[in-house]
Amino acid sequence: MSESSLSLRRPARAARKPRDLDREAAKKRRSRDKRDRILRAATRVFAKNGFHATRVSEVAKAAGVADGTIYLYFKSKEELLVSLFEDRVSKLLAFMREDLPKRASAPERLRAVIDMQLGLLEGERELAEVITVILRQSTRLMKEFAAPQFLAYLDAIAKIVQEGQAAGDFRQDVAPHIVARAVFGALDGITLTWALGRAEQGALGRAATQLGDMFLRGLAP
Amino acid sequence: MSESSLSLRRPARAARKPRDLDREAAKKRRSRDKRDRILRAATRVFAKNGFHATRVSEVAKAAGVADGTIYLYFKSKEELLVSLFEDRVSKLLAFMREDLPKRASAPERLRAVIDMQLGLLEGERELAEVITVILRQSTRLMKEFAAPQFLAYLDAIAKIVQEGQAAGDFRQDVAPHIVARAVFGALDGITLTWALGRAEQGALGRAATQLGDMFLRGLAP
Amino acid sequence: MSESSLSLRRPARAARKPRDLDREAAKKRRSRDKRDRILRAATRVFAKNGFHATRVSEVAKAAGVADGTIYLYFKSKEELLVSLFEDRVSKLLAFMREDLPKRASAPERLRAVIDMQLGLLEGERELAEVITVILRQSTRLMKEFAAPQFLAYLDAIAKIVQEGQAAGDFRQDVAPHIVARAVFGALDGITLTWALGRAEQGALGRAATQLGDMFLRGLAP
Amino acid sequence: MSESSLSLRRPARAARKPRDLDREAAKKRRSRDKRDRILRAATRVFAKNGFHATRVSEVAKAAGVADGTIYLYFKSKEELLVSLFEDRVSKLLAFMREDLPKRASAPERLRAVIDMQLGLLEGERELAEVITVILRQSTRLMKEFAAPQFLAYLDAIAKIVQEGQAAGDFRQDVAPHIVARAVFGALDGITLTWALGRAEQGALGRAATQLGDMFLRGLAP
DNA sequence: AATGAATGAGAATTCATTCAT
DNA sequence: TATGAATGAATTCTCATTCAT
């Protein structure tokens, strides 16, 4: 701060600009760092106490910033929660766009989805808890924000099933959207139990394999 | 009630005691009525606004009683939520105790569980929403109360799978507790989507059949 | 009142009246009994928990009556407290009217007042606590009701001092109203400590003698 | 404050730290100011309406702060009352520690205590009312907090009496703790009447002299 | 950008009192 | 008279958010 106020008093020189850019970048980096620090702290505290029982001041303390600082990066407490969710969902959607097309068959694609949904949280128990449990604590979030994205995700899975049925890889007598909901729910249930504490390291990976087997066999024509 | 009208025709002396009993009974009935009225109102309002966004006074208004009256029947707002849950869980556990033993094989028992978990909420969309979504809004409730019951339920399902494996009805290469979580999660996912509004009447019944088929085929040796 | 309304409907008979009177008397006795029961219960509970922390329902329970019954005998919770106070004050004022004139000299009258104020509560620790401590918990009571009576009492004591000074029994260089306040305060202080629990049986009697000695000697010309 | 204006004229480097210190000090001062403002407002409002009849919002309004601000400085409404009391008691105890030992004889010490207890409140009628009347309105406060301190104070007075008796300055036939209670009670009674409004300026001083005379003469051997 | 003191709206719960039976 | 279920006004305290520094 003192540095920048000093520079105001000096004549503008050509050399300034590159340095300013650097400075800008550093500032942005620092800013992003702080934002991340807050998000990580929020994950920790939300997972421990739940959304409503968590005070903004607790997140601030856990992040090592002042209460007011949170509001420089997030519009509200609820937006903190949204951001945690958005971050993961964007990764998930990116995956679906980039990775799925590489898989030749519907069965392969379905297995990939299963691996990914569980793999996304492996090693991040707290984040898993936030997404499976805490997220549902904000009604508005659930109805206005999460639901649409969630339904889009379900539709994407249903589409895989449909394609599999069209290609003769899956049985015809199950409704694609029912399978989609079941697959998602099964994965969510696994994650939930794991997040609630009754599961060991690597459990999600093993579960993914077994679930994949079971669903694919259950869907076999 | 019919008894009390009868007693009016009898000699006063003999009627004394029965009438008192009637009065007692009527009082108890009215009391239960009011309790139920409050519970039904709570289900409605909780489903609409979520637990935290619902004010006790709103429930009172919806039930047509004074704010304070709620506290004659429930210790706190949270206990209202617990009561809604307990009512269903007790039915569910009663079913598992009474009905399951009648089913000869593990596959039959698993299908019965699936039918029941979905059947329990068919036609009661608001209650379904309360149980799948709202319940998770109270962290304390989730951790202290619901979790233990939930885990007991999971264990019961896992036990069915285990028995099926022992009897040679199910494949050996899946962990019973993973199947249990997956089955529960799949059912919960179905209910959730249905509760959130994208499903028609009778959908849960059809879903139960298809899910049963899929899981049983997926588990077949 | 009920009597008069009754008599309007029935033919007046000579035999009726005595029986009615008996009935009335019995009723009044029972009524008084219940009133006393409530007052005694109130003393107990107020002394234990204080005025504000005591719920009317607690008094009702301690008295063995229904909540609503209290309101058949007392207009409000505060009136309960007033009644406890009035009862004692009336005894105190009766004493001052009847007993004091019998005492020949001012010193004798002052000693009598001291004996009486302490003697009034001896053996009734709970009542003493209510009067010294609890009474001050109701601001309205203190200001509107108790204060006037209290000041009247002080004036009566001051008058004794004044008479003693006129008769040459007391020193002239103390203001009568200051002595009055000091005497009352000293007695109240004794009672308070005793009520708060640090004093044994008979303590008030001994204290009265010593206080009497000390004040009389202090006032001697 | 004066320091910080000075520092503006000095070279910036050296000024750094002192200015920060100043800022800290100013902050602390402002904080203390606000705390005091709240305490003074509380005294005013409590004296007028009593403890229970006073709403926290009224104190806030009288102090010119927001309701919530009160809770930044005091844990609860009751703690506000405690703080008023503690402040005076600490002065009183400080006096007993510092001033009393300077007085040679027990009679001088007793008179000093009398002067002090009354002098402490002279000119602060509202505070006097809070301490003599309002304080007793919180049962918990009376029993848990005030009682122990109060008893310690009584013991200190009793000790003076005892020493006087040992030195032959006081009569032997009065129990020291009875005298202590009487002295305290007399002073409290004087204060109470004064606080309740029937006394003019300077009254406490005069009362102190007369009371001192009376007690000392009453205690003379 | 950062701070954290200050704000003040908001809500669960209590309990004196009423009144239908 | 007696009951006790029902009422609903009333109030403390919390905590997300703001804003002067």
Q: Are D198 and D129 in contact (CB under 8 A)?
A: no
Domain of residue A23 covers 17-74
Query: How many domains does the structure of chain A reveal?
Result: 2
CA–CA dist D130, D127 (Å, integer):
5
One domain, residues C86 and C62: no
pLDDT, position D123: 75
One domain, residues A89 and A191: yes
One domain, residues A193 and A215: yes
pLDDT, position D86: 82
3-class secondary-structure state, position C82? helix
One domain, residues C114 and C165: yes
Query: A169: domain CATH number?
Result: 1.10.357.10
One domain, residues A44 and A107: no
**A4-38 residue pLDDT tens:** 333 333 444 444 555 666 777 777 777 778 999 99
Quickly tell me which residue has 């029993």 as its tokens: D143
**C139-170 residue pLDDT tens:** 677 777 777 777 888 899 999 999 999 999 99
Q: In b/e form, how buried is each residue of D43-70, taking b as 16+ CB within 10 angstroms? A: bbbbbeebbbebebebbbebbebeeeeb
One domain, residues C118 and C26: no
- The nucleotide closest to C69 (CA, C1' atoms): F2
Distance in angstroms, CA of D86 to C1' of F3? 47
Q: How far is CA D178 from the centre of its chain?
A: 24
Residue B13 has pLDDT above 50, yes or no: no
* Residue of B136, B189, B214 with shortest CB distance to A218: B214
pLDDT, position A24: 73
One domain, residues A119 and A58: no
Q: Provide, as residue numbers in chain A, all residues whose Cβ is less than 8 Å from the Cβ of B178.
A: 190, 206-207, 210-211
DSSP state for residue A122 in the 8-state scheme = T
Backbone angles phi, psi at B135, to 5 degrees: -55, -35
Q: How many CB pairs under 8 A join C and D?
A: 136
Lowest mean pLDDT among A74-88, B187-201, D93-107: B187-201
Rounded to an integer, the average pLDDT of B25-52 is: 87
Q: Are D83 and D51 in contact (CB under 8 A)?
A: no
Q: Are C60 and C66 in contact (CB under 8 A)?
A: yes
CA–CA dist A22, B178 (Å, integer):
52
> Quick check: is B4 in a domain?
no
Rounded to an integer, the average pLDDT of B85-96 is: 80
> Quick check: is D28 in a domain?
yes
CA–CA dist C47, A100 (Å, integer):
78
**Contact state of A188 with B189 under an 8 Å Cβ cutoff:** yes
Spatial CB neighbours of D213, under 8 Å, sequence gap ≥ 6: C173, C174, C218
3-class secondary-structure state, position D17? helix
Q: Looking at chain D from residue 11 to 50, which residues have their Cβ under 8 Å from any Cβ of chain C?
A: 49-50
> Quick check: is D69 in a domain?
yes
> Quick check: is D6 in a domain?
no
> Quick check: is D2 in a domain?
no
Which of strand F's nucleotides are less than 7 A from any protein C-beta?
1-20
Our CA-based measurement puts residue C26 at a distance from the nearest CA of chain D, in whole angstroms, of 40
Give the burial class of C154: count Cβ atoms within 10 A of its Cβ; 0-12 exposed, 13-18 middle, 19 or more buried: buried
Which residue's CA is nearest to the C1' of nucleotide F11? D55
> Quick check: is B173 in a domain?
yes
Our CA-based measurement puts residue A169 at a distance from the nearest CA of chain B, in whole angstroms, of 14
User: Which comes out higher in pLDDT, residue A21 or D34?
Assistant: D34
Quickly tell me which residue has 């019965």 as its tokens: B112
User: Which comes out higher in pLDDT, residue C127 or A60?
Assistant: A60
User: End of a domain among B74, B107, B140?
Assistant: B74
Does C have 3 or more CB contacts under 8 Å with D? yes
Distance in angstroms, CA of B134 to C1' of F9? 31
**Contact state of B213 with A173 under an 8 Å Cβ cutoff:** yes
pLDDT, position D3: 37
**D188-216 residue pLDDT tens:** 889 888 877 655 667 888 999 999 999 99
Q: Is residue B199 left, alpha or beta, with left meaning phi > 0 and alpha meaning psi from -120 to 50?
A: beta
pLDDT, position A65: 97
CA–CA dist B80, B90 (Å, integer):
16
> Quick check: is B217 in a domain?
yes
The share of chain C scoring above pLDDT 90, in percent, equals 45
**B94-138 residue pLDDT tens:** 888 888 999 989 999 999 999 998 888 877 888 888 877 777 777
One domain, residues C173 and C68: no
Q: Are B195 and B132 in contact (CB under 8 A)?
A: yes
* Residue of C50, C188, C192 with shortest CB distance to D139: C50
Q: Provide, as residue numbers in chain D, all residues whose Cβ is less than 8 Å from the Cβ of C137.
A: 52, 136-137, 139
Residue A201 has pLDDT above 90, yes or no: no
Distance in angstroms, CA of B135 to C1' of E13? 22
One domain, residues C57 and C135: no
Rounded to an integer, the average pLDDT of B14-22 is: 51
User: Which comes out higher in pLDDT, residue A126 or B165?
Assistant: B165
CA–CA dist B2, C207 (Å, integer):
72
Q: Provide, as residue numbers in chain B, all residues whose Cβ is less than 8 Å from the Cβ of A165.
A: none
CB atoms within 10 A of CB B202: 10
Residue D143 has pLDDT above 50, yes or no: yes
Angle, helices D176-195 vs C203-219, to 10°: value is 70
Question: How far are the Cα atoms of A111, B47, B132, B169, B171 from residue A189, in angstroms, in the given order?
Answer: 17, 22, 12, 24, 21
**Contact state of D182 with C214 under an 8 Å Cβ cutoff:** yes
User: End of a domain among C50, C74, C98?
Assistant: C74
Angle, helices C106-119 vs C77-98, to 10°: value is 150
CA–CA dist C59, C70 (Å, integer):
8
pLDDT, position A113: 93
Cβ of B155 under 8 Å from any chain A Cβ?
no
The share of chain C scoring above pLDDT 70, in percent, equals 86
One domain, residues C164 and C69: no
Rounded to an integer, the average pLDDT of A113-128 is: 84
For D132, name the nearest residue in chain C, comparing CA atoms only: C136
Our CA-based measurement puts residue C69 at a distance from the nearest CA of chain D, in whole angstroms, of 26
> Quick check: is C10 in a domain?
no
Our CA-based measurement puts residue B131 at a distance from the nearest CA of chain A, in whole angstroms, of 12
pLDDT, position D4: 39
**A50-88 residue pLDDT tens:** 899 999 999 999 999 999 999 999 999 999 998 988 887
CA–CA dist D90, C47 (Å, integer):
29
Spatial CB neighbours of A168, under 8 Å, sequence gap ≥ 6: A221
Lowest mean pLDDT among C56-60, D40-44, D50-54: D50-54
**D1-17 residue pLDDT tens:** 333 333 333 444 444 44
User: Which comes out higher in pLDDT, residue A88 or A172?
Assistant: A172
Query: A22: domain CATH number?
Result: 1.10.10.60
CA–CA dist D128, D191 (Å, integer):
7
Question: How far are the Cα atoms of B17, C37, D139, D175, D186 from residue B14, in angstroms, in the given order?
Answer: 7, 35, 54, 72, 70
- The nucleotide closest to A35 (CA, C1' atoms): E1
In chain D, where does DSSP find H-type helix?
Answer: 2-7, 12-49, 56-63, 67-73, 77-98, 106-119, 125-132, 139-140, 147-166, 176-195, 203-219
Residue D18 has pLDDT above 60, yes or no: no
One domain, residues C122 and C179: yes
**Contact state of A190 with B185 under an 8 Å Cβ cutoff:** yes
Distance in angstroms, CA of A214 to C1' of E17? 66
Angle made by CA atoms B15, B16, B21, in degrees to the nearest 5: 95
One domain, residues B29 and B82: no
